[in-house]
Amino acid sequence: MTARDLAELTEAGERRIGWARRSMPVLTAIAARFAAERPLDGLRVAACLHVTAETAVLMGALRAGGAEIALAASNPLSTQDDVAAALGVYGIAVHARAGVDMETYYRHIHQALDISPDIVLDDGCDLVNILHTERPDLSVAGGCEETTTGIIRLRQMAAEGALKFPVVAVNDTRTKRMFDNRYGTGQSTLDGIMRATNALLAGRTVVVAGFGFCGRGVAERAKGLGARVIVTEIDPVKALDAALQGYEVLPMGQAARVGDVFVTVTGNRDVIRGEHLAVMKDGVILANAGHFDVEIDVRALEGLAESVNFGVRPNVDEYVLADGRRLLLLAEGRLVNLTAAEGHPAAVMDMSFSAQALAVAWLATESVRLPPGVYDVPADIDAEVARLKLAATGIAIDELTVEQEDYLHSWRAGS
Ligand code: ADE
């Protein structure tokens, strides 16, 4: 790349970051406070996050707080190269490029760890996994985890006594899960499917596998676009919830025969398998919005296909079966919202990443007294993020009266 190309890329990245910042008033306010108080002075932070404009705003806030930062991508396809270029200008060491192979992806995480971090930020637990398995030389004070899949892995590590430091489950805060997982995944997943295919969703049958916060968001947005939505689940309570919300609930074996668009959002592997792919209709669209590319069995798809037309459109590969049916796989089965679209809108990342920034500042003082384990974000951080977001949105709410406060705290008061 010539110096001129790099300058243009950097300028494009700065514009994109500036655009995101406009919708991130809470994180911007926290960055200003960090700049004044410098709560992260002298700390080294290694982050493994999707390298997007919203992540750049978070990195700016941590930098303003005094942290030295190295950033690697948490997915080989989600990096916005212009943003990565611009972050370098802000003095952040970025190890990420869109479309790298898996070897390079893991090398980048190692390079971020070479900073010898005090605190780590992870999205999916790949960095923490490498720390525990391949970099035992490094001693880390604490970490934050951004996503459901990462929390599942961390809880398993904690249960087995393998986790070596405290990790804050940022994913589990209400201000993250209720907005980012639901509205963020919902909107950006449909955005990714539409950008990739330009398919009309009205009147089509969309099968959503998984009815957690993310799946619920996808189902709601698909319904809003006029699709008939079928939900598949393994959890009886979530299945019941979906049914009572008016969705049809079916096992994947039956849904596979009738769906036009399939979206996996379960966090588990092999949700769409060979036996399902074998009975699908001609022209179906297969998309994944779960963290890892394990939910659609791409190997089985390759095995069934007589030929593959890669890149019939950007982010669309067409698998042609022996009888002529074509199955369209989006984004190689990786996160469709971050590969074919731009990830969650900045307005929701504002809350998730504000919780991240405040959790890092909290760890900076508290990690020394925390034994290894998975910790909830302190409730006052959650409430502060929500209060700041309400204020930025111009929404006022009521306060408890003294009598109400007493009533809530007294079991003696009758009805
Ligand atoms: N995860 C989902 N959307 C994201 C975004 N816009 N930036 C960073 N991480 C994300």
Check: CB of residue 371 under 8 Å from CB of residue 166: yes
pTM as predicted: 0.93
- The verdict on the CB of residue 150 being under 6 Å from ligand 1 is no
- The verdict on the CB of residue 176 being under 6 Å from ligand 1 is no
Ligand 1 center from residue 391 Cα (angstroms): 23
- The verdict on the CB of residue 54 being under 6 Å from ligand 1 is yes
- The verdict on the CB of residue 177 being under 6 Å from ligand 1 is no
Q: Using one digit for the tens of pLDDT, what is the confidence trace for 211-228?
A: 999 999 999 999 999 999
- The verdict on the CB of residue 344 being under 6 Å from ligand 1 is yes
- The verdict on the CB of residue 343 being under 6 Å from ligand 1 is yes
Ligand 1 center from residue 72 Cα (angstroms): 14
Check: CB of residue 131 under 8 Å from CB of residue 56: no
- Mean residue pLDDT of the chain comes to 96
Model confidence at 139: pLDDT above 90: yes
Shortest-distance atom of ligand 1 to CA 147: 1
For residue 283, what are the β-bridge partners? none
- The verdict on the CB of residue 233 being under 6 Å from ligand 1 is no
Q: CA separation (Å) from 404 to 189, 386, 395? A: 42, 22, 22
DSSP 374: E
Q: Which domains does the chain possess?
A: 3-176+343-392 (3.40.50.1480), 185-339 (3.40.50.720)
Supply the pLDDT for residue 1: 82
Mutate to test the pocket of ligand 1, among 78, 79, 126 (most ligand atoms within 8 A of CB): 78
Q: Using one digit for the tens of pLDDT, what is the confidence trace for 125-134?
A: 999 999 999 9
- The verdict on the CB of residue 95 being under 6 Å from ligand 1 is no
Ligand 1, atom 9, lies closest to the CA of: 50
Q: Where are the beta strands (DSSP E) in 218-355?
A: 228-232, 248-249, 261-264, 285-288, 305-313, 316-321, 326-330
Nearest to 248 by CA among 280, 204, 206: 206
Ligand 1 center from residue 52 Cα (angstroms): 7
- The verdict on the CB of residue 186 being under 6 Å from ligand 1 is no
The residues, any chain, with a CB within 8 Å of residue 399's CB and separated by 6 or more, are none
Model confidence at 88: pLDDT above 90: no
Ligand 1 center from residue 186 Cα (angstroms): 13
- The verdict on the CB of residue 63 being under 6 Å from ligand 1 is no
> Which whole number is the average pLDDT over 98-108?
96
CB atoms within 10 A of CB 133: 9
Nearest to 218 by CA among 229, 204, 234, 226: 229
CA distance 352 to 175: 7
- The verdict on the CB of residue 349 being under 6 Å from ligand 1 is yes
Ligand 1 center from residue 146 Cα (angstroms): 10
Q: Using one digit for the tens of pLDDT, what is the confidence trace for 231-282?
A: 999 999 999 999 999 999 999 999 999 999 999 999 999 999 999 999 999 9
Q: Using one digit for the tens of pLDDT, what is the confidence trace for 319-355?
A: 999 999 999 999 999 999 999 999 999 999 999 999 9
